[in-house]
């Protein structure tokens, strides 16, 4: 088990780096996770992260297609924002569980 520490926040993550409790997520924690993925978060990143968190709270099964149809970004932009595995990486940064569609 690993922990992330940023200023005053300490949260537990699983072996893959996903938060164990999504309610402990903060923008600072997102920035720390993103830094480990070599991503510098912008306002557009946070729009996507907040959308993912809202859909997770609603119980929606997340997929690339749903995000592409969200109107926030298209699939190409999503890959540009979160290179290397956009849904998997963005979910980790958003503090939500890894989607079932991600290996």
Q: Which residues carry out catalysis?
A: 102
| CA gap 52, 4 in Å, rounded | 21
Helix, strand, coil share (%) of the chain residues, nearest 5: 50, 10, 40
């Amino acid at each position: 088990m690993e922990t992330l520490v940023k200023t005053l926040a300490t949260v537990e993550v699983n072996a893959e780096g996903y938060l164990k409790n999504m309610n402990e997520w903060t923008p600072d924690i997102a920035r720390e996770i993103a830094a480990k993925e070599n991503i510098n978060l912008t306002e557009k990143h946070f729009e996507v992260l907040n959308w993912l968190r809202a859909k997770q709270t609603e119980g929606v099964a997340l997929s690339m297609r749903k995000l592409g149809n969200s109107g926030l970004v298209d699939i190409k932009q999503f890959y540009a924002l979160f290179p290397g595995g956009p849904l998997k990486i963005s979910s980790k940064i958003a503090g939500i569980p890894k989607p079932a569609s991600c290996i």
